[in-house]
Amino acid sequence: MRSLFRLFGMLLLLAPLPARAQFMDVVSGLFDSVNAIVFYGQVGALTNNEDIEGTVANLGTAGLGAEVLIDLPSVGNTYFELGLGTSLTRGFDAAEPSLDLRGSLRTLPTIAVYASQLGLPDDSPILPYVGAGFGFSELWNARGYTEDGTIIPVDADTYEFGASAGFYVNAGPFRGFYTEAGYRQRNFESLIWDTDQLPAGWPRSIDASGFELKVGWQFVIEDSYAEDETE
């Protein structure tokens, strides 16, 4: 994935000036449609504990994330948005007793499509939404520690897929608050350990799939609902 981004950047630099200008016009037009920036905290519960287990309150994981919401064409009183974001998840360890696993799960980028309001009036104080998306996830700054203190770095990356549903407060002093529940399918099928001899029992793969609960705030930049009311 990272190689593809580098190749895309090189091709863009080598492209004729009119083509580069046209591409930048498209990017500029896309971000002109940004209606909100979202920041959130999340907690999660892993659904497959064969390889890793949550350590936050001895139950699950925790993390932070941010997302940019971009307007897409609406249909009646249902609004569609494109979400571009990133997240960082911590709070897990290996189920194998001889392995002390430290690190984080970083997802960059995440790409999602949301359908909000779902036919309700524009002035509804609470607006529901549903979403689905995917992203590129990696083990970030991950290390395995043996019982004698030996440090073995580990890398892995994978695609993740997920779906979610939640509600957004649309009125009053808490306008912008939202909460969301969802599920992510995230399976690292091949771990790359920086060692010639992997200790017995250490995992070759990790299933980090699980349920997540998010709580956050949408900082509205451009109110698409209000725009539609004036048109």
Give the β-pairing of 192-193 and 151-155. Answer: antiparallel
Could you give the CA distance from residue 122 to residue 73 in angstroms, rounded to a whole number?
16
For residue 231, the model assigns a pLDDT of 44
Under the banding of pLDDT at 50, 70 and 90, the label for residue 15 is low
* Nearest C-alpha neighbor of 114 from the set 226, 3, 224: 224
Cα–Cα distances (Å) from 67 to 13, 27, 90, 157, 170, in that order, read: 27, 17, 18, 21, 18
Q: Domain extents for the chain?
A: 44-230
- For 176-222, the pLDDT digits (tens) are 999 999 999 999 999 999 999 999 999 999 999 999 999 999 998 86
For tokens 């009311």, what's the residue? 229
Q: What are phi and psi of 204, to 5 degrees?
A: -95, -15
* Nearest C-alpha neighbor of 133 from the set 189, 62, 83: 83
Query: Residue 60 in contact with residue 91, Cβ under 8 Å?
Result: yes
- For 100-131, the pLDDT digits (tens) are 999 999 999 999 999 999 999 988 999 999 99
For residue 122, the model assigns a pLDDT of 87
For residue 194, the model assigns a pLDDT of 96
What are the respective helix, strand and coil percentages of the chain, to the nearest 5?
15, 55, 30
CA 70 to chain centre: 16
Could you give the CA distance from residue 1 to residue 148 in angstroms, rounded to a whole number?
36
**Is the domain 44-230 a CATH 3.30.70 member?**
no
Calculated CA dihedral for residues 185, 190, 193, 198, nearest 10 degrees:
110
Could you give the CA distance from residue 44 to residue 63 in angstroms, rounded to a whole number?
8
Could you give the CA distance from residue 116 to residue 187 in angstroms, rounded to a whole number?
29
- For 43-97, the pLDDT digits (tens) are 999 998 889 999 998 789 999 999 999 999 999 889 999 999 999 999 999 999 9
Under the banding of pLDDT at 50, 70 and 90, the label for residue 164 is very high
